[in-house]
A and B are shown apart, each in its own frame.
Chain A
Amino acid sequence: MSLSFAILTALLAIGLLALFFGVVLGFAAVKFKVESDPLVEQIDQILPQTQCGQCGYPGCKPYAEAIANGDEINKCPPGGDITIKKLADLMGVEPKSLDAAHGQEDIKKIAYIREDECIGCTKCIQACPVDAILGAAKQMHTVIADECTGCDLCVDPCPVDCIDMLPVANSSSSWRWDIDAIPIKQIV
Chain B
Amino acid sequence: MQNSFEDIMEKLDNHELWDFPGGVFPAERKTLSNQTPIGKLAIPARLYVTVKQHIGVEGQIIVDVGQKVLKGQALTKSMNPFAVPIHAPTSGEIAAIHKHVSAHPSGFPELTIEISSDQEDRWTKLFPQIDYQNQPTMQVLTAICDAGISGMGGAGFPTHIKSSPKKDIDFLIINGIECEPYITSDDRLMREHAWQIRQGIDILCHLLKPKHVLIGIEHNKPEAIEALQVACRENTNYRVCIIPTKYPAGGEKQLIQVLTNREVPAQGLPVDVGVIMHNVGTCFAIADAIFSGKPLIERVVTVTGEAVENPGNMWALIGTPVSDLLAHCNYKQTGQNRPNIIMGGPMMGFSVTSDLVPVVKTTNCILAPTDNEIAGNNEQPCIRCSACADVCPASLLPQQLFWHSKAKELDKAQDYNLFDCIECGACAYVCPSEIPLVHYYRIAKSEIRVEQEDKQKSDKARERFEKREARLIAEQQARDEKHRLAAQARKQAMASNGNTAKDKIAAALARAKAKKQNASIVNEKPIDPTEVTLADKSVQEVKTDESNTSTKAASSNQRVQAAITRAKAKKAAAEVTITQTELKNKINTGQIIENKREIKHQGNDVKFASKQASEVKMKDQADVNHSLHTADVSPQPQKQVITDSKQLKITTAVAKAKAKHEAQKIANSQDVPNPVPAAKVNSPQTNISVEPAKTQEQQIDMKKRRIAAAVAKAKAKKSAQIEATSKKDKPS
Contact = CB atoms under 8 A, between A and B. Distances in A.
Which of A60, A147, A172 gathers the greatest number of chain B CB atoms within 10 Å? A172
Interface stretch (A22-30, A65-73, A90-98, A180-188): A180-188
A179 B342 CA distance: 12
B596 interface: no
Nearest to B342: A182
A184 B346 contact: yes
A178 interface: yes
A31 B121 CA distance: 80
A172 B465 contact: no
Interface in A95-139: 116-117, 119, 129-132, 138
Main secondary structure of the interface of B (DSSP, over half): helix
B571 interface: no
Interface string A144-188: 000101000000000111000000001110111111111111111
B590 interface: no
Given A116-B706, A147-B464, A181 B373 contact: no
A160 B374 contact: no
A30 to B, nearest CB: 28
Given A51-B465, A186-B27, A117 B710 contact: yes
A48 B450 CA distance: 13
Interface centre among A47, A160, A187 (most CB of B within 10 A): A160
Contacts of A51: 461, 465
Nearest to A119: B710
B373 A187 contact: yes
Given A119-B710, A183-B434, A176 B443 contact: yes
B653 to A, nearest CB: 38
Contacts of B27: 184, 186-188
Contact of A183 (B105, B377, B676, B717): B377
B418 to A, nearest CB: 13
Contacts of A132: 464
Interface in B107-126: 108, 110
Contacts of B374: 182-185
Given A185-B373, A185-B374, A180 B460 contact: no
A59 B465 contact: yes
A160 B714 contact: yes
B446 A44 contact: no
Contacts of B443: 176-178
Contacts of B351: 179-180, 182
Nearest to A176: B446
Contacts of A48: 454, 458
B503 interface: no
Contacts of A182: 342, 346-347, 349-351, 374
Contact of B439 (A117, A130, A181): A181
A160 B434 contact: no
B550 to A, nearest CB: 66
B168 interface: no
B619 interface: no
B106 A130 contact: no
The 8 closest A-B pairs by CB, nearest first: A181-B436, A177-B442, A49-B458, A185-B375, A181-B439, A49-B461, A184-B346, A175-B106
Interface of B: 26-27, 29, 102, 104-106, 108, 110, 181, 342, 346-347, 349-351, 372-375, 377, 425, 428-429, 434, 436, 438-439, 442-443, 445-447, 450, 453-454, 457-462, 464-469, 676, 706-707, 710, 713-714, 717
Given A187-B373, A188-B27, 12 more contacts: A44-B462, A60-B462, A119-B707, A130-B465, A131-B467, A172-B106, A177-B439, A178-B443, A180-B436, A181-B438, A181-B439, A182-B374
Interface of A: 44, 47-51, 59-61, 116-117, 119, 129-132, 138, 147, 149, 159-161, 170-172, 174-188
